[in-house]
Amino acid sequence: MKLTGNTMLVTGGGSGIGQALAWRFHDLGNTVIVAGRGVARLGETIKGRANMHALALDVGDNGSVAAAMDLLKLDFPALNTAILSAGIMTWQELGRGGDIGTAEEVVNINLLGTMRTAEALIPLIAGKPNAAICTVSSGLGFVPLPAAPAYSASKAGVHSYSLSLRQRLKGQVEVIEIPPPAVRTGLTPGQETREGYMPLDAYIDETMANFEREPGAQENLVANVLPLRFAEKNGTVAEMLDHLGSF
Ligand SMILES: NC(=O)c1ccc[n+]([C@@H]2O[C@H](COP(=O)([O-])OP(=O)(O)OC[C@H]3O[C@@H](n4cnc5c(N)ncnc54)[C@H](OP(=O)(O)O)[C@@H]3O)[C@@H](O)[C@H]2O)c1
């Protein structure tokens, strides 16, 4: 992916990984539009930054995605890139009658939300110079965390969808998957200070360094995510699942 000269949409851009990447890309001189449901957080994110804009968007809602795309088409005709970082994570206890409502919400936002946004964006960006979409999956899409089964499944889905998208959009839109490891953000309560999780700044530094070192890479992998990403190849899935199952 080209790191400069873009007009970029960042969903989930009002906090955490999305916000930090949005700021880094803005620092590099890109025009950046941060999108999410929390308009106040978006306002804080763009404060004092020229060429940074906020957009109300609920990726879980077809109407909201359509309205946001209409606005992007009108106001940002140069739009050529996106980072789809919007997501939620919830805990669910398995084998206790099933919390299908929670699972539906997680899948609707994380997997269908990624699909909804990407599908709506493609007609706006396909064929434009340096068009690119970054999906945000998770190390847990490769070995699940049994305490967050719908979340893990939704991220396995984002990985699979990213492969399909890349194949179909070859030559028109570059598709890059970003599967973060455990990072200190507000994704779940208490996560911002959780022991053993990667500090957000360190994660973003390594992610941006990866983009710079290997601009054509299909996946942006920091060192901490490699054990999960390649567990199947390494024959360590059962061992890692036992470990993750203890949480
Ligand atoms: N932090 C980690 O350890 C980790 C690890 C692997 C993967 N990830 C992934 O990284 C991405 C970013 O997470 P994060 O850690 O940065 O947590 P975060 O700070 O909670 O960021 C998630 C963002 O998504 C937005 N969002 C949630 N639902 C949305 C919806 N329906 N429509 C639009 N925006 C929505 C939230 O804003 P609003 O609520 O205001 O809409 C929030 O800004 C997520 O996809 C997450 O699954 C994180």
CATH number of the domain enclosing 57: 3.40.50.720
Res 44 pLDDT > 90 = yes
User: Considering its fold, how many domains does the chain have in total?
Assistant: 1
What pLDDT shows up at residue 96? 74
Residue 178, domain member (yes or no): yes
Annotated active-site residue 197? The verdict is no
3-state secondary structure of 149: helix
**What are the tens digits of pLDDT across the range 185-232?**
999 999 999 999 999 999 999 999 999 999 999 999 999 999 999 999
Is beta strand 174-178 parallel, antiparallel or unpaired with respect to 81-84?
Answer: unpaired
pLDDT above 90: residue 95: no
**Over 90: is that where the pLDDT of 97 sits?**
no
**Domain membership flag for residue 1:** no
What is the pLDDT at residue 231?
98
Instruction: Judge whether 148 lies within some domain.
Output: yes
Dihedral-angle region of residue 190 (phi above 0 means left; psi in -120 to 50 means alpha; beta otherwise):
left
Percent of the chain at pLDDT > 70 equals 99
Flag whether 215 is in a domain: yes
Structural domain for 97, as ranges: 7-245
Measured in Å, residue 210 CA sits from the centre of ligand 1 at 21
List, chain by chain if needed, residues with CB within 6 Å of any ligand 1 atom. Answer: 11-12, 14-18, 36-38, 41, 57-60, 85-89, 109, 113, 136, 138, 180, 182-183, 185-187
The Cα 89–Cα 152 span in angstroms is 9
| Per-residue pLDDT at 90 exceeds 90 | yes
Instruction: Tell me the sheet residues that pair with 83.
Output: 10, 134
